[in-house]
Chains A and B, each alone.
Chain A
Amino acid sequence: MKTFSIGGIHPPESKLTASKAVEKMPVPSEIVVSMSQHLGKPAKPLVKVGDEVKKGQRIGEADGFISAHIHASTSGKVKSVKSVPHPGGNYSLSVTITTDGEDTWAEGLNTAPIDWKGLSKESIIEKIKDAGIVGMGGAGFPSSVKLSPPPDKTIDTIILNGAECEPFLTADHRVMVESAVEVIKGLEIITSLFAGKAKPYIGIEANKPDAIEAMSKAAKGTGIEIVTLETKYPQGAEKQLINAITGRTIEEGQLPFDKGCLVHNIGTAVAIYDAVCCNRPLVERVLTVSGMEITSARNIRAVIGTRFSDIAAFCGDMTEKTNQVITGGPMMGRSQFTLEVPITKTTSGILFINNAGLENSRERTCIRCGKCIDACPQSLEPWLLGNEAQFRRFDEAEIYGLANCTECGSCTFVCPSKRELVHWIKYAKALVNNRKQRKTA
């Protein structure tokens, strides 16, 4: 069994929904499609209030190189185009659509599956770009950009990330079990772009034996290697996954393609298959609705832009004890203050939890126990970064590898003094960025 070499933790898995089949959630009466569902600049809205839109119609134009198109997730009428809360912790320009309930596709989309083998490399990348596909694991890096690395870099390893190391989340797990064929086809499309020179892998954590079995069965005779990984957080982080499977280490400032690797999420592979073979843009995704305080935890397939409140209602409402709602996993996710936020292309889960100590959790001083150093998968010293941030010594923090932190949350998880190390590191990053902007301005 393979694993990454440095650090890592073992949080309780809490995979409540691992055996529950994906249910399709009906389209709610109103959806909010955000214009920034990806890394980089927000898309430019192409519609105005009162416009009729069809499902899959492009309503946001990519603005710049690292940006992605946005599509209407269902048919209906545009109600407003304004700035609303976004689950990423800020506000973003969003198109609110009053749905008509017919869910009709725009012309030429959602066609019967075709054979992708006849398509040229350029047309495949063009289709992926048109479908607005971004990395669905969390960061939301546009896939078309990732799939066209600079010509001087050779890609010899393609990894599909089925680790899903965050507690609670089971969306990728269920996709692997239920749509194994599509996942394999998606990976074959990605591999074909590198003219057979790259070796495809699928990395899956050992706590999903049914997914490993399903993928092995579907991958028979395709040359795809299924790698069983040790159950350890953060196994599914890009750098750690590359380290676990190939043994290579991504140094500070390097990107995976500098080491000949390319990592994609399971959901992205399915989306690529849908886009290339069925002309289906990215308008829906599978996500986990879980946590101790939701009546019926389940995996759902919802259209992008569905509000959290609608999802909570679909899953039998949350209990009164809920005091924290988190998007994504409990380790890297963000708390929300309103249930009016919509899901985006990168929302892998919603958790409703009762964090009993939340009101009186107070940071105490560092006792220099060194647990965070043992836990850090990036071999940083989180306590030191936290201290430098706390006392506004950002130059020192940069020297000690501030930019190298992936914000995985392992240090905060193990800290016996309950220090908010990741928050301090994020705070330092925000201020360093602000200072750089002021210098250039």
Chain B
Amino acid sequence: MISEAFIPAVTSLGSLALTLGIIIYFVSKKFYVEEDPMVTIINGILPGVNCGACAYPSCNQFAEELVRTKDTSMTCPVGGPDLAAKLGESLGIEMAEPKPITCSVICQGNSENARQSAEYVGIQDCWAAMQAFAGPKQCRYSCLGLGSCIAWCDFNAMRIENGLIVIDKDLCTGCGACVPACPTGVLVMQEKKAERIFIACNSHDRGADTKRACDAGCTACQKCVKVCPEEAIVIENFVARIIQEKCTACGKCLEVCPSKVNCIVLKKDMIKSKQVS
């Protein structure tokens, strides 16, 4: 009795499976897209986070483009020199070495340095706070400290500490995804150097206003400009800027900066290079 009940079910489903299987076989032959096996190999080497730092929407598209054009100038900033070497090896070409880049915060307005203008109670997001007098801090060019950029970082390199965004430079790959997420523009991409000096202030207010709002503000006093032997410091729109190509990181500007908390910062970056690895 039971086996009789099975027969129509098994035969109908079985024949259906068979027919569909045959159709699928022919369709897959007919519409077969030939893919360079190299793309799969390159894709395996790439980091696979689809961060977009290479200007392609995904790692896969970067791999396809690289295999198609064999353009040696295409670089993956996230992978660095190691990856460039591996890619070159697989493709049999000499890849250009990417310059290691890292993200820097050009603001030191944490809760000790920067003064508050009001208590902000709305939505805890920088873009929402921007609509109310550019956030709770007096300086309207500062890091708002609400962390809208954190969600954009694929590498967990960002966190808020003391009302200021902090970047873990070991984790930061310099992909640049966070830059457009900042409403005040305190995140900038800089080339990694053994010793890198930059001005950590974004305030375009006049000196007196900057000083009133923050202890670590650049007042555009020109002292660092005068002392710099390489003429690598310029004042633009009431804030100093270091021309990184000229800077030799001699550190003379660090000594003369008169602001209470030095607005000029020296950072030592670890640079991975081909030889070391």
**Which residues of A does B touch, CB under 8 Å?**
85, 89-91, 334-335, 337-338, 358-359, 361, 363, 392, 420, 423-424, 426-427, 430-431, 434, 438
18 additional contacts (CB under 8 A) given A338-B118, A427-B128, A431-B127: A90-B134, A334-B132, A335-B132, A337-B117, A337-B118, A338-B117, A358-B121, A359-B119, A361-B121, A420-B122, A423-B122, A423-B123, A423-B131, A427-B123, A427-B127, A430-B131, A434-B127, A434-B183
Q: Which of B117, B121, B125, B132 contacts A89 (CB 8 A)?
A: B132
A363 to B183, CA, bound (A): 23
Q: Can you name the residue of chain B whose Cβ is closest to the Cβ of A358?
A: B121
Is residue B133 contacting chain A, with contact meaning CB distance below 8 A?
Answer: yes
With a CB–CB cut-off of 8 A, which chain B residues contact A91?
A: 133-134, 140
- Min CB distance A229 to B, Å, is 31
Chain B residues with CB under 8 A of A423: 122-123, 128, 131
- A359 and B121 form a contact (CB under 8 A): yes
Q: How far is the CA of A430 from the CA of B132 in the complex (A)?
A: 12
B117, A426: Cβ atoms closer than 8 Å: no
Interface residues in B88-131 by Cβ distance below 8 A to A read: 117-119, 121-123, 125, 127-128, 130-131
B133 touches A89 (CB 8 A): yes
Q: Assess whether B21 is interfacial by the CB under 8 Å rule.
A: no
B47 within 8 A of A: no
Interface size on B, residues (CB 8 A): 18
B221 to chain A, nearest CB (A): 20
- Give CA–CA (A322, B217) in the complex, Å: 32
- Determine if B229 is an interface residue (Cβ-Cβ < 8 Å): no
**Pairs A–B under 8 Å by Cβ, sample size 26:** A85-B133, A89-B131, A89-B133, A90-B134, A91-B133, A91-B134, A337-B132, A337-B133, A338-B117, A359-B119, A359-B121, A392-B151, A420-B123, A423-B131, A424-B123, A424-B128, A426-B128, A426-B131, A427-B123, A427-B127, A427-B131, A430-B127, A430-B130, A430-B131, A434-B127, A434-B183
Interface contact B117-A427, CB-CB below 8 Å: no
**Given the complex of chains A and B, what is the CA–CA distance between A358 and B121 in angstroms?**
7
Q: Which residues of B contact A426 (CB under 8 A)?
A: 128, 131
Closest to A360 in B: B121
Residues of A with C-beta under 8 A to B121 = 358-359, 361
A430 — which chain B residues lie within 8 A by C-beta?
127-128, 130-131
Q: Complex formed: what's the CA distance from A426 to B129 in Å?
A: 11
Q: Which residues of B contact A424 (CB under 8 A)?
A: 123, 128
> Which chain A residue lies CB-closest to B121?
A358
- Complex Cα distance, B118 from A358, in Å, reads 13
Set of chain A residues within 8 Å of B140, measured between Cβ atoms: 91
Write out, one digit per residue, whether chain B residues 155-197 have a CB within 8 A of any chain A CB (1) or not (0).
0000000000000000000000000100100000000000000
Interface residues of B in 50-99 (CB under 8 A from A): none
Give chain A nearest CB distance to B18 CB in angstroms: 43
A424→B180 CA distance, assembly (Å): 19
* Most chain A beta-carbon neighbours within 10 Å: one of B128, B130, B134: B128
Q: By CB atoms of chain A within 10 A, which of B118, B121, B132, B180 has the most?
A: B121
A-B pairs with lowest CB-CB distance, top 3: A337-B118, A427-B128, A337-B117
Task: Enumerate chain A residues within 8 angstroms of B119, measured Cβ to Cβ.
Answer: 359
Contacts of B118 in A (CB 8 A): 337-338
Q: Which residues of B contact A337 (CB under 8 A)?
A: 117-118, 132-133
- A90 cross-chain contacts in B, Cβ below 8 A: 133-134
Contacts of B122 in A (CB 8 A): 420, 423
- Residues of B close to A434: CB separation below 8 A: 127, 183
A334 to B131, CA, bound (A): 10
Give Cα A335 to B123, complex, Å: 14
A358 to B131, CA, bound (A): 18
Q: Give the complex CA separation of A337 and B151 in angstroms.
A: 29
> In the complex, what's the smallest C-beta–C-beta distance from A287 to chain B, in angstroms?
21
- Bound CA–CA A361/B124 (angstroms): 13
In angstroms, how far is the closest chain A Cβ from the Cβ of B219? Answer: 16
Min Cβ gap A120→B in Å is: 43
Contacts of A438 in B (CB 8 A): 180
User: Given the complex, which residues of B lie within 8 Å of A358, measured CB to CB?
Assistant: 121
Give the Cβ gap from B118 to chain A, nearest Cβ, in Å.
3
Min CB–CB distance A221 → chain B (angstroms) = 48
Q: How far is the CB of A189 from chain B (nearest CB, A)?
A: 37
Shortest Cβ distance from residue B3 to the other chain A in the assembled complex, whole angstroms:
52
A338 closest partner in B (C-beta): B117
CA distance A392 to B123 in the complex (A): 14
Q: Which A residues are CB-close (under 8 A) to B130? A: 430
Separation of A207 and B273 alpha carbons in the complex (Å): 77
| Residues of A contacting B123 in the complex (Cβ-Cβ under 8 angstroms) | 363, 420, 423-424, 427
A200 to B119, CA, bound (A): 46
The residue of chain A having its C-beta at the shortest distance from the C-beta of B119 within the complex is: A359
A89 cross-chain contacts in B, Cβ below 8 A: 131-133
**Nearest-CB distance from A256 to chain B (Å)?**
26
Interface positions, chain B 193-236, Cβ under 8 Å from A, are none
User: Which residue of chain B lies nearest to A427 when distances are taken between CB atoms in the complex?
Assistant: B128
**Smallest CB separation, B208 vs chain A (Å):** 11
User: In the complex, which residues of chain A have a beta carbon less than 8 angstroms from the beta carbon of B131?
Assistant: 89, 423, 426-427, 430
CB-CB under 8 A from A334, the residues of chain B are 132
For B128, what are the chain A residues with a Cβ–Cβ distance below 8 Å? 423-424, 426-427, 430
